[in-house]
Amino acid sequence: MTVRGAGCGVRGAWRRVPGAVLGTLLAAIATMSLHAAEPSRPAFDSSRAWEYLRQLVAIGPRPAGSPAIQQARDYIKKELASAGVSLAEQTWEDAGTPIGRVRFTNLIATIPGARKDRIVIAGHYDTKLFREFRFVGADDGGSSAAFLMEIAHALKARKSAFTYELLFLDGEEAFNPEWAGTDNTYGSRHYVAAAQRDGSLATLKALILVDMIGDRDLRIKREGNSTPWLTDVIWATAKREKLDAYFVPDTTTIEDDHIPFLRAGVPAVDIIDLEYPPWHTAQDTLDKVSARSLQAVGDVVLASLPAIEARLGKASR
Ligand SMILES: [Zn+2]
């Protein structure tokens, strides 16, 4: 993918710039890169995210209830522990799935901030069950889980006004071939129902959901069910960060793990690129995804947080 075609035009313009002006411009560019490296902005390390993704994919297919997803959980828990991030498990059983009784587990990592109010960053870590071929879900299930594991490091290093919760959702995928009824979003539905029951929903102020963000040819459209102001903040940030080749202005409408949160009144945005030819095929493998795409989403999400916090802070006053 060509990220910015404007690059050619810029190169052409240099030839007409006199030396003195060139020096000033170079100094300005140096200042800009210093600004980008300011210590208050924690970094997303896509090479570490890539290693997480590689290890998850190496486990093989990871459908809900399988021994392999238990292996994935153990791996996520071990890595978050070494990052110094505490993690809780939310486990339950559902006897009414199309394949019978299934035991699910959401993983909930908490990074405390100045206040108890939470911003949840979520993604699913299960892969869709296919018996007829080997489905390792490098993008679908792998990219979101690896993203959450890496952003834990950045948030741990950040002084945050809000508490951040990284929510690894189980059972996003339908067991049946088709997505219908309650045979999907098992983890998000369970999480929201439990939060409504125990009252913890009151401190849940916003949800940022990531799903299928690793496509080598990443092109994320605005998602039509998502809360408009939250979507606006993220897309405006992408433009400011010159990453708008990844966050495009078109809109699409997708049912995903954000729906139960929206129904419960939580502002939510789904960052997803569903236009991925290997989607739900044996070809959803490591060679179809890239660290660069994870980096773009990591940079935009982290750069969006101050504006999201400011908006939420104002709303609660
Ligand atoms: Zn899927």
CA dihedral 30, 32, 38, 40 (to 10 degrees): 180
Tell me what pLDDT residue 188 has: 98
Q: Tell me if 118 sits within 8 A of 131, measured CB to CB.
A: no
Helix (H, G, I), strand (E, B) or coil at 220: strand
The H or E element containing residue 307 is helix 291-315
Tell me what pLDDT residue 41 has: 65
CA of 43 to the centre of ligand 1 (A): 28
CA of 144 to the centre of ligand 1 (A): 11
CA of 178 to the centre of ligand 1 (A): 11
CA of 3 to the centre of ligand 1 (A): 26
Please indicate whether residue 81 or residue 39 has the higher confidence score (pLDDT).
81
CA of 171 to the centre of ligand 1 (A): 10
Q: Tell me if 25 sits within 8 A of 17, measured CB to CB.
A: yes
Burial (Cβ within 10 Å: 0-12, 13-18, ≥19) of residue 63: buried
Q: Tell me if 32 sits within 8 A of 98, measured CB to CB.
A: no
Tell me what pLDDT residue 316 has: 64
Q: Count CB-CB contacts under 10 A for residue 56.
A: 26
Length of the chain in terms of residues written = 317
CA of 246 to the centre of ligand 1 (A): 20
Q: What is the arithmetic mean of pLDDT over 231-259? A: 98
Out of 34-38, 49-53, 67-71, 110-114, pick the least confident: 34-38
Closest of 292, 232, 227, 304 to residue 266, by C-alpha = 227
Tell me what pLDDT residue 7 has: 29
CA of 288 to the centre of ligand 1 (A): 15
CA of 124 to the centre of ligand 1 (A): 9
CA of 141 to the centre of ligand 1 (A): 7
Q: Count CB-CB contacts under 10 A for residue 191.
A: 27
Whole-prediction pTM: 0.87
Evaluate if residue 32 carries a pLDDT over 80: no
Q: What beta strand segments (E) does the chain contain?
A: 86-97, 100-111, 118-124, 163-169, 204-211, 220-223, 247-252, 268-272
Tell me what pLDDT residue 34 has: 40
Helix axes 46-59, 67-82, angle to 10 degrees: 150
Structure token digits, residue 262: 């929206």
Evaluate if residue 112 carries a pLDDT over 90: yes
Beta bridge partners, 94, equal: 102
CA atoms lying within 13 Å on the CB side of residue 273: 25
CA of 129 to the centre of ligand 1 (A): 9
CA of 32 to the centre of ligand 1 (A): 39
Evaluate if residue 28 carries a pLDDT over 50: no
Provide, rounded to the nearest whole percent, the portion of the chain with pLDDT above 90.
85
Q: Tell me if 224 sits within 8 A of 233, measured CB to CB.
A: no
Provide, rounded to the nearest whole percent, the portion of the chain with pLDDT above 70.
86
Amino acid at 261: F
Tell me what pLDDT residue 40 has: 61
Closest of 116, 106, 267 to residue 190, by C-alpha = 106
Closest of 249, 252, 215, 219 to residue 235, by C-alpha = 249
117-156 tens-digit pLDDT: 999 999 999 999 999 999 999 999 999 999 999 999 999 9
Amino acid at 132: E
CA of 93 to the centre of ligand 1 (A): 21
CA of 173 to the centre of ligand 1 (A): 6
Closest of 246, 257, 233 to residue 310, by C-alpha = 233
Query: CA 228 from chain center: how many Å?
Result: 18
